[in-house]
């Protein structure tokens, strides 16, 4: 416990295996922007062989990784599949980046043709393409029309089932598959995306959206304080102007 009046609990999945391009920065940013509002964020790390109590957590985070780490995680996730699906269906807030995002779907077919099973929480699948999508992405979140910036590096091409909505429209970059002009997925309170960078430090509106959703889900109606985001806004603007 943090000693704060309001506390949120975050489950950080596989921090040792899935943490490339500073994905951990997303958790640090959530913690920072919570603390600026006097909200405590309790962080529990969960690794291979450890079970998840889905009733305990308000938020979940899973980062990206190389295929080798993804394989270890994919196998272990099968043990956690039911609890994670329950959490998602009960509207827990879930941010999943790149390799972690892929594993929330049905499967990820790797460049050597083998298939990593996902947990099938989301109706999507990923197939390795023959060209990596690498660069600075600019897109627009569909719900808010805010710009989102981040860095992508993946060969996996993700395709959403008809029932799923993408998170954003691509302005610059590959996004889900380099073909349909969409980036990520939004399902209930799940935000799946290819954006590393890390994502949240330079997209403060998204960080705040996740925190707000977590408070709403808990039935906490305290006013949501605006905090100074001037440094974050500078980082965001700089990233908007980067080339791919
Ligand atoms: N291995 C996956 C791909 O290349 C995920 C990479 C990542 O998480 N950055 O598609």
Q: Is 80 in the pocket of ligand 1 (CB under 6 A)?
A: no
Q: Which residue has the tokens 């999508």?
A: 133
CA-nearest residue, atom 5 of ligand 1: 99
Does residue 236 have an active-site annotation?
no
Residue 2 has pLDDT above 80, yes or no: no
Does residue 34 have an active-site annotation?
no
At 222 the pLDDT is 77
Asked if the structure places residue 56 within a domain, the reply is yes
At 1 the pLDDT is 57
Report the CATH number at residue 98: 3.40.50.880
The angle formed by the CA atoms of residues 24, 235 and 138, to the nearest 5 degrees, is 85
Residue 3 has pLDDT above 80, yes or no: no
CA 75 to centroid of chain Cα atoms: 20
Q: Which residue has the tokens 């960078």?
A: 197
Residue 125: both structure tokens together: 């699948």
Q: Is 105 in the pocket of ligand 1 (CB under 6 A)?
A: no
Q: Is 110 in the pocket of ligand 1 (CB under 6 A)?
A: no
Asked if the structure places residue 1 within a domain, the reply is no
Whether residue 33 contacts residue 227, with contact meaning beta carbons closer than 8 Å, is answered with yes
CA 59 to centroid of chain Cα atoms: 11
The alpha carbon of 58 and the centre of ligand 1 are apart by a number of angstroms equal to 26
pLDDT (average), residues 94-102: 98
Asked if the structure places residue 25 within a domain, the reply is yes
Give the number of domains in the chain: 1
Q: Is 64 in the pocket of ligand 1 (CB under 6 A)?
A: yes
The residues, ordered by sequence, that sit 6+ positions from 46 with a Cβ below 8 Å of its Cβ are 11, 12, 13, 14, 52
C-alpha to C-alpha distance for 177 and 61, rounded to whole angstroms: 22
Distances (CA, A) of 163 to 114, 117, 127, 159: 26, 20, 19, 12
Q: At what angle do helices 230-240 and 204-217 cross, to 10 degrees?
A: 120
pLDDT (average), residues 156-177: 98
Q: Which residue has the tokens 């009046």?
A: 5
At 29 the pLDDT is 98
Q: Which of 34, 98, 154, 236 is catalytic?
A: 98
C-alpha to C-alpha distance for 28 and 189, rounded to whole angstroms: 20
Domain that holds residue 99: 6-242
The alpha carbon of 79 and the centre of ligand 1 are apart by a number of angstroms equal to 22
Asked if the structure places residue 110 within a domain, the reply is yes
Q: Which of 34, 139, 154, 196 is catalytic?
A: 196
**Ligand 1: which of 24, 97, 110, 156 to mutate, most ligand atoms within 8 Å of CB?**
156
Tell me the pTM: 0.97
pLDDT (average), residues 183-211: 97
Q: Is 35 in the pocket of ligand 1 (CB under 6 A)?
A: no
- State the CB neighbour count (10 A cutoff) for residue 126: 25
C-alpha to C-alpha distance for 199 and 229, rounded to whole angstroms: 15
196: confidence class by pLDDT, cuts 50, 70, 90: very high
The residues, ordered by sequence, that sit 6+ positions from 219 with a Cβ below 8 Å of its Cβ are none
The per-residue pLDDT for range 136-152, each reduced to its tens digit, is: 999 999 999 999 999 99
Whether residue 151 contacts residue 138, with contact meaning beta carbons closer than 8 Å, is answered with no
At 197 the pLDDT is 84
Atom of ligand 1 at shortest range from CA of 66: 1
Asked if the structure places residue 157 within a domain, the reply is yes
At 4 the pLDDT is 73
The per-residue pLDDT for range 13-30, each reduced to its tens digit, is: 999 999 888 899 999 999
Q: Is the Cα dihedral 108, 162, 97, 35 positive or negative?
A: negative
Phi-psi label, residue 126: left if phi above 0, alpha if psi -120 to 50, beta otherwise: beta
221: confidence class by pLDDT, cuts 50, 70, 90: confident
**Ligand 1: which of 17, 62, 66 to mutate, most ligand atoms within 8 Å of CB?**
66
Residues above pLDDT 90, as percent of the chain? 93
Atom of ligand 1 at shortest range from CA of 152: 9
Asked if the structure places residue 219 within a domain, the reply is yes
């Amino acid at each position: 416990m943090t000693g704060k009046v309001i506390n949120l609990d975050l489950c950080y999945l596989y921090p040792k295996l899935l943490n490339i391009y500073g994905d951990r920065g997303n958790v640090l940013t959530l913690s920072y922007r919570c603390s600026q509002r006097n909200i405590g964020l309790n962080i529990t790390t969960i690794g291979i062989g450890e079970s998840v109590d889905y009733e305990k957590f308000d938020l979940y985070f899973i980062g990206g990784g190389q295929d080798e780490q993804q394989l270890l995680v994919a196998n272990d996730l099968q043990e956690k599949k039911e609890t994670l699906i329950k959490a998602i269906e009960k509207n827990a807030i879930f941010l999943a980046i790149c390799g972690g995002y892929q594993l929330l779907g049905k499967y990820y077919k790797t460049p050597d043709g083998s298939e990593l099973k996902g947990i099938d929480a989301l109706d999507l699948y990923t197939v390795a393409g023959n060209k990596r999508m690498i660069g600075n992405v600019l897109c627009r979140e569909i719900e808010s029309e805010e710009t989102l910036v981040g860095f992508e590096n993946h060969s996996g091409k993700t395709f959403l089932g008809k029932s799923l909505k993408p998170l954003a429209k691509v302005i610059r970059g590959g996004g889900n598959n380099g073909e349909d002009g969409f980036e990520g997925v939004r399902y209930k309170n799940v935000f799946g995306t290819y954006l590393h960078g890390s994502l949240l430090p330079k997209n403060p509106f998204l960080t705040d959206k996740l925190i707000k959703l977590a408070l709403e889900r808990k039935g906490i109606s305290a006013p949501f304080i605006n905090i100074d985001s001037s440094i974050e806004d500078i980082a965001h603007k700089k990233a908007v102007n980067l080339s791919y």
